[in-house]
Amino acid sequence: MPQRRRPDSLRTGRDAVRNLELRGEGEGESRLQRRHDTDEVANTENTMPNTHNHSYHQPAKGTTDWHLPLNSNFENLDTDVGVRDADANRGEYEPKAGAKFEATDSGAVYLGDGSEWVLVDRRVDSLTTGSQRLTDRSIVYAYGSGGNYVEPFPVSEYSDLGDTVNAAFAAIASGPGYGKVVMPPTDEDFSTTIHLRADYVSLQGSGMWATRPRYTGSDAAFRLDGADRGIHGNFGLRGDGSSGQDLIELTVENEQISHYAFQNIYLENAGRHAIHEICHGPDNNDIYDGMYHTIYINGTGDHAIYSPDESGAGNASRTFFNIQSMTSRIRGDFIHDMSGGIHKRYIGVEGEPCVDGVNFRVQNGYCPIFLGCRGEGQGSHSFHLTNTRGALIQNCISWNSGGHGIYLDSNNREFKIENYYVTGAQGDDIRIRDSGTQTGVLGMHNASTNIDRGVDIHMDVQNKQFGTLDGS
């Protein structure tokens, strides 16, 4: 009986596949295109059209040596069908070129290169998920230049939320050097201080009412120490009232902090301060060009926003915009600035009644500006300025203060107060002390004397230069 001869078409097709495997991917050529190129050679009247997406062979009825195209299909399936297993088990699988391994525990994805599994960088034009989570309760960091790089840090693999965020910041600092860390919706407790210490890296939540963890430590919940140009926000942050507990702390030792922003943040129940700015060191190691935008503060054990007097430290140019106290549970001052700061701007800041303190207290400042601010008292004065130069209080309101509406203590120079509204003050509408105070302008448009307990304007100032008092 003569030996059966394999059709030339099938032999040629198999050789073509082998040749393609030997020469690898052509430049700009997909694996599917290579298979289609092979099919143009392999397809004859004895075969049916191959599948569209993967170009698997479909031998026709009566095809000779039909097992050859089917074996080719199985070989391709071993690469086309991804492997799913625990991340630690990926070494048990062959990293065929183009094969995919998906870790069921970490969510990481790897591609085989023929010798090892390579972590996929997952560059995409945009990233959108319905739940705002990449994996369940994951911290992610992302950056992009023509795309976004995303890497998950499952919270369950770290001691707590703070430890996880710090791991993400460390990954950015040792890798791309810029980007953002995104926290998922959560209300869990954490005790590890989050260190915002990488330049050009931002910390973002999933909304101030969605991401609102509670800090249970006795240090600072978030500490910005020597890092520039980060925009942090879209989260809530709660304390447990522990003594000495700050929610947001800015610390300068031997560096500087500049061009930063905190925005869209809810701060609640700080054991000490909601925001605490600390400067140590010489004048060139300071805090400057910062912004606080749309921040709600609900309860503190001491001052809400505190900038202490740090001898020899520089402290300049910050904007506080739309900052509001939501309750009367502020135990100290709402704004307490003793830093000698230069050109600090308070715009649309509203301090609800402070139990024991002042709404706006500034000492040693150059050109502090208050525009459209509102102080409501119980404890003491609405505005209390000491040793300032070039202060401006404009279009501001003092409501039912426990002391004076506006109190200029000693050594205030070149100040201006105009278009103000004071009502219900327990003391005087405006009280100006003599010691060192000089060269001021009072423009008392729309001044109110409603239900006042003291006098409209009480000045112990003698032989000083003042502008015309153009009100009643």
Q: Do 200 and 250 fall within a single domain? A: yes
**Which of 68, 98, 119 is the last residue before a domain boundary?**
119
248: closest CA among 231, 229, 262?
A: 262
| Proportion of the chain above pLDDT 70, given as a percent | 72
Q: Do 243 and 362 fall within a single domain? A: yes
Instruction: Identify whether 352 is part of a domain.
Output: yes
* Position 199, amino acid: D
Q: Do 74 and 93 fall within a single domain? A: no
**Whether residue 26 has pLDDT greater than 70:** no
Owner of token pair 């000491």: 386
User: Helix, strand or coil for residue 208?
Assistant: coil
**Whether residue 60 has pLDDT greater than 50:** yes
User: Helix, strand or coil for residue 31?
Assistant: helix
CATH number of the domain to which 366 belongs:
2.160.20.10
Instruction: Identify whether 135 is part of a domain.
Output: no
pLDDT digits (tens, 9 = 90+) for 350-383: 987 787 789 999 998 889 999 999 998 767 899 9
Q: Do 361 and 323 fall within a single domain? A: yes
pLDDT digits (tens, 9 = 90+) for 201-213: 899 999 999 999 9
Q: Do 66 and 191 fall within a single domain? A: no
Torsion of CA 52, 54, 60, 63, to 10 degrees: 150
Across 104-108, 182-186, 457-461, least confident range:
457-461
Instruction: Identify whether 137 is part of a domain.
Output: no
Instruction: Identify whether 400 is part of a domain.
Output: yes
**Whether residue 463 has pLDDT greater than 80:** no
281 vs 424: which has the higher pLDDT: 424
**Whether residue 46 has pLDDT greater than 90:** no
Instruction: Identify whether 354 is part of a domain.
Output: yes
DSSP letter, residue 155: G
Q: Do 91 and 59 fall within a single domain? A: no
In angstroms, rounded to a whole number, what is the distance separating the alpha carbons of residues 418 and 363?
20
Q: Do 222 and 335 fall within a single domain? A: yes
Strand 214-215 and strand 231-239: the pairing is parallel
Q: How many domains does the chain contain in total?
A: 3
Averaged pLDDT of the chain: 78
| pLDDT at residue number 241 | 92
Across 215-219, 256-260, 438-442, least confident range:
438-442
Q: Do 265 and 334 fall within a single domain? A: yes
Q: Region 437-451: what's the mean pLDDT? A: 52
Q: How confident is the model at residue 69 (pLDDT cuts 50, 70, 90)?
A: confident
| pLDDT at residue number 2 | 42
Q: Do 187 and 211 fall within a single domain? A: yes
Across 8-17, 56-65, 323-332, 453-462, least confident range:
8-17
Strand 189-190 and strand 201-204: the pairing is unpaired
| pLDDT at residue number 329 | 79
326: closest CA among 390, 274, 393, 392?
A: 274
| pLDDT at residue number 189 | 95
DSSP β-bridge partners for residue 414: none
Q: Which domain holds residue 70?
A: 8-80
Work out the angle at residue 466's Cα, subtended by the Cα atoms of residues 462 and 470, and round it to the nearest 5 degrees.
Answer: 120
Instruction: Identify whether 144 is part of a domain.
Output: no
**Whether residue 457 has pLDDT greater than 70:** no
**Whether residue 242 has pLDDT greater than 60:** yes
Q: Do 304 and 409 fall within a single domain? A: yes
124 vs 299: which has the higher pLDDT: 299
Q: Do 251 and 393 fall within a single domain? A: yes
Across 23-37, 157-171, 388-402, least confident range:
23-37
User: Helix, strand or coil for residue 471?
Assistant: coil
**Which of 80, 107, 142 is the last residue before a domain boundary?**
80
In angstroms, rounded to a whole number, what is the distance separating the alpha carbons of residues 168 and 182?
9
Q: Region 93-112: what's the mean pLDDT? A: 88
**Which of 66, 97, 119 is the last residue before a domain boundary?**
119
Across 175-184, 201-210, 239-248, 403-412, least confident range:
175-184
* CA dihedral sign of residues 352, 353, 356, 359: positive
Instruction: Identify whether 470 is part of a domain.
Output: no
Q: Do 96 and 218 fall within a single domain? A: no
Instruction: Identify whether 151 is part of a domain.
Output: no
Work out the angle at residue 305's Cα, subtended by the Cα atoms of residues 303 and 309, and round it to the nearest 5 degrees.
Answer: 85
